[in-house]
Amino acid sequence: MKINLKVTADFDLDGKIMPRAIEWEDGRVFAIDRVFDVRRAASLKAGGVGMRYICRICGRTVALFNDENKWFMEGKEN
Amino acid sequence: MRSILHVDMNNFYASVECLYNPEIRNFPVAVAGDPLNRHGIILAKNMIAKKLGVATGEAIWEAKLKAPGLVLVPPDYKKYLRFSRMAREIYYEYSDQVEAFGLDENWIDLTYSLKYLHSDPVSIANTIRERVKEELGVTVSVGVSFNKIFAKLGSDMKKPDATTEIPYEHFREIVWPLPVSDLLYVGKATARKLELIAVNTIGDLARMDVAILKRRLGKWGEILWLFANGMDTSPVRKISESEQIKSIGNGTTCPRDLKTEQDVRLVFTVLAESVAARLRDCCVKCQGVQIYLRDNDLFTISRQKKMEFPCCTSAPILETAMELFRQHYRWHKPLRSVSLSAIYLVTANKHVQLSLFDDTAEQLLVQEQIEKTIDMLRYRFGHNAIMRASALLDKKLTGFNPKEDHTIHPYSYFR
C-alpha cells in the first residue's frame, strides 16, 4: 500500500534534498528527528522507486521515498 | 581476451507496470496498445502471462484466449524511458563502454575496468543484478562472455533474474547446439536460407565452409560465420558516442482503411511533417524517401526514390512520397498502414549551391525557415498550435502526432 505525503524538505547548495517534516492526511505535522540512510531503492510493497530516506519520526523508524519529487511511505496491508 | 556483459531487463514494460501496481502482480499482465485505434497488440507480458502462452506481438484477442483473466495496461513510455535511464546509470558505474540495444538491453565492456573494480565479471554481473533488483525493483538476466554476440546469447538463456557465463574454453559445448535463429541478426529470412544448406544450429554454421556462406548470404555470410566461431570483434560503444543515424521514419496504422489518394496524402502529410521536424532536430538532411504500404490483407510493399536536392522540409518529402505511391500502387486493396522514411542522410551544414537558372534551392531555404518557425511555435505552444488546413479535411485520420506519441517497439516484437 502506498501512502502519499506532503513533505517539507531542504535543498542544499549542491541540490541534495533532505526531508525535514511530513504532513499526515489529517493535517498533523511531524518533524523528522534524524535521517539515517539515503540511497536509491525500490519499494515493492508500495509500488514505486526513488530515493529512500530511512528516518526517525516520533521515535519510530520509517522509510520515506522520493519518486520524482512525489513522496510516499509504505503502508500496512488492510 | 575481453570481458563483456549483456544485461537484459526481463519482460521490461510489464515488469515496470507490475512494480508500480502491486494489486495486479499475481495476475497475468500484458502491456498493450489501444484496440480502439487498431493498435491492439501485446507489447510485453509478465511471467504468469508468458507461462500461459501469451506472446509479444500477437493481437489482444489472441492473448485473451490463452489467458482469460488477462490484465491489460496501456503503455507509458515516459516511465520506461526513465527506468531505462536509471538502469544505465547503474551500469555506468562499472565502465565507460555501455552500449544500449533498445530500451531494455545494454552491453557493458568490463575489460579495462576489471583492475579498478577488484572483481571478476561474473561477480560484477551478480552485483548488477542485485542492485537493479534493490534500486529499481525489476529483474535482469545477464550474459557474460568474451564478445557481444555470445554475451547476448547468454542473457537469453536463463530468465528471469539469472547470470549465464559463456567462457572461451566451453563456448562450443554451450553455444553450438543452439538453433541458428538464436544468433543475433539471424531473422526468419536468413534462417530459411541457412536451412536450405542444412545449417540448423549455430554449430552447423560454425563448421560450414565460409566460402559457401559468402556465396549464399554475401557479406553477412562471413560475418555470421565469425559470430558462430566466437570471433566477433565489434567494440562496445562508449557512453558518449551515439549511433550514426541512417534513416528517420514514421509510420502509422490508421484508425480506418485508406481508400483514396487524398486519404493517403493526408496521412503522408502528417508523417512527412514529423519526419522533417526530426531531421531538423538531428541537424541532418535527406536525399531519398522510402515508403511502406500495407494493405488490409497485411501484404506489404516498400519503394524508395532519390531526390534532387538534400532537404529537411516536409513539402519535397511529401511530394516524393506521393510520386512513389502513384507510381507503384494500383489500389487492389484498401490500405491499412503506411510508413514514410527519410533515407540517404547527410549533415545539414553543407552549403547549398544556388542555381542561376531556377530558384528551387532558394525556395527550399525559404521553406526551411518557415518550418523552423513552425517547430518553435509547436515547441512553445504545443503540437496543435498550428496545423495545415488540409488536416481539417479528415481530423480522425490526421489526428495523431507521431513525433511525440511514438511507440517504441521492444526488440522482441520483431523476432
Residue B407 has pLDDT above 70, yes or no: no
Partners of residue B135 in chain A, C-beta under 8 Å: 39-42, 49
**B388 vs A19, more confident:** A19
% of chain B at pLDDT higher than 70:
94
pLDDT value, residue B353:
65
pLDDT value, residue A50:
94
For residue B163, CA distances in Å to A10, B48, B144 come to: 41, 21, 7
Residue A75 has pLDDT above 80, yes or no: yes
Q: Kindly report which listed range (A15-29, B66-80, B351-365) carries the lowest average pLDDT score.
A: B351-365
Partners of residue B86 in chain A, C-beta under 8 Å: 40, 49
Partners of residue A54 in chain B, C-beta under 8 Å: none
Nearest by CB to residue B136, choosing from A42, A45, A46, is: A42
Report the first-to-last Cα separation within chain A, whole angstroms.
8
Listed as own residue / partner, the contacts of B262-265 with beta carbons closer than 8 Å and 24 or more positions apart are B262/B393, B263/B335, B263/B394, B263/B397, B264/B322, B264/B325, B264/B335, B264/B338, B265/B318, B265/B322, B265/B390
pLDDT value, residue B355:
65
Give catalytic residues of B, as residue numbers.
105
Nearest by CB to residue B19, choosing from A1, A42, A68, is: A42
Contact B136 A48 (CB under 8 A): no
pLDDT value, residue B367:
86
Q: Does A39 touch chain B (CB under 8 A)?
A: yes
Tell me the whole-structure pTM to 2 decimals: 0.80
Q: What confidence tens digit (pLDDT) does each residue in B105-123 have?
A: 999 999 999 989 889 999 9
Tell which of A39, A40, A74 to mutate to test the B interface (max B CBs under 10 Å): A40
pLDDT grade for A1, boundaries at 50, 70 and 90: confident
- The secondary structure of residue B179, as a DSSP letter, is B
Q: B326: which 3 cell numbers?
A: 502513384
**B213 vs B410, more confident:** B213
Tell which of A2, A38, A39, A44 to mutate to test the B interface (max B CBs under 10 Å): A44
Contact A45 B137 (CB under 8 A): no
Q: Does A28 touch chain B (CB under 8 A)?
A: no
pLDDT value, residue A77:
64
Contact A33, A15 (CB under 8 A): no
pLDDT value, residue B411:
47
Domain ranges of chain A: 2-74
Residue B292 has pLDDT above 80, yes or no: yes
- The neighbour count for residue A27, using CB atoms within 10 Å, is 7
% of chain B at pLDDT higher than 90:
63
Rounded to an integer, what distance in angstroms lies between the CA atom of residue A45 and that of residue A43?
Answer: 5
Q: What confidence tens digit (pLDDT) does each residue in B127-153 have?
A: 999 999 999 999 999 999 999 999 999
Contact B20 A47 (CB under 8 A): yes
Domains belonging to chain B, first-starting first, are 12-76 (3.40.1170.60), 176-228 (1.10.150.20), 248-414 (3.30.1490.100)
pLDDT grade for B392, boundaries at 50, 70 and 90: confident
Q: What confidence tens digit (pLDDT) does each residue in B195-222 have?
A: 999 999 999 999 999 999 999 999 999 9
Q: Does B93 touch chain A (CB under 8 A)?
A: no
pLDDT value, residue B319:
94
pLDDT value, residue A55:
95
pLDDT value, residue B413:
42
Sheet containing B98-100: give its strands across.
B98-100, B105-109, B4-9, B140-145, B162-165
Q: Does A13 touch chain B (CB under 8 A)?
A: no
Q: Does B19 touch chain A (CB under 8 A)?
A: yes
Q: Does A76 touch chain B (CB under 8 A)?
A: no
DSSP-based helix, strand, coil % in chain B, nearest 5: 45, 20, 30
Please state the rounded mean pLDDT for residues B307-331.
Answer: 91
- On average, the pLDDT of chain B sits at 89
pLDDT value, residue B152:
96
Q: Which amino acid would we find at residue B311?
A: C
For residue B147, CA distances in Å to A41, B6, B153, B166 come to: 32, 10, 10, 10
Please state the rounded mean pLDDT for residues B38-60.
Answer: 89
pLDDT value, residue B154:
95
- Quickly list H helices, B233-389: 261-281, 314-328, 360-381
Buried b (16+ CB within 10 A) or exposed e, B276-307: bbbbbeeebbbebbbbbbbbeeeeeeebeeeb
Contact B19 A41 (CB under 8 A): no
A58: closest CA of chain B, how far (Å):
27
B298: closest CA of chain A, how far (Å):
40
pLDDT grade for B406, boundaries at 50, 70 and 90: low
Q: Does A75 touch chain B (CB under 8 A)?
A: no
pLDDT value, residue B35:
75
Contact B88, B106 (CB under 8 A): yes
Q: What confidence tens digit (pLDDT) does each residue in B228-286 have?
A: 999 999 999 988 776 678 889 999 888 889 999 999 999 999 999 999 999 988 888 99
A44: closest CA of chain B, how far (Å):
6
Which residues have a Cβ under 8 Å from the Cβ of B414 and sit 6 or more positions away? B57, B187
pLDDT value, residue B415:
41
Instruction: Give, in degrees to the nearest 5, the angle at Cα B100 between B81 and B24.
Output: 40
Contact A49 B22 (CB under 8 A): no
Q: A65 pairs with which residues across the strands?
A: A52, A72
Nearest by CB to residue A47, choosing from B22, B134, B135, is: B22
Q: Does A70 touch chain B (CB under 8 A)?
A: no
pLDDT value, residue B266:
92
Partners of residue A70 in chain B, C-beta under 8 Å: none
Rounded to an integer, what distance in angstroms lies between the CA atom of residue B287 and that of residue B24?
Answer: 49
Partners of residue A43 in chain B, C-beta under 8 Å: 137
pLDDT value, residue B352:
64
Rounded to an integer, what distance in angstroms lies between the CA atom of residue B303 and that of residue B298?
Answer: 16
Rounded to an integer, what distance in angstroms lies between the CA atom of residue B207 and that of residue B139?
Answer: 36
pLDDT value, residue B350:
62
Residue A47 has pLDDT above 90, yes or no: yes
Provide the CA A25 distance to its chain's centre, in angstroms. 14
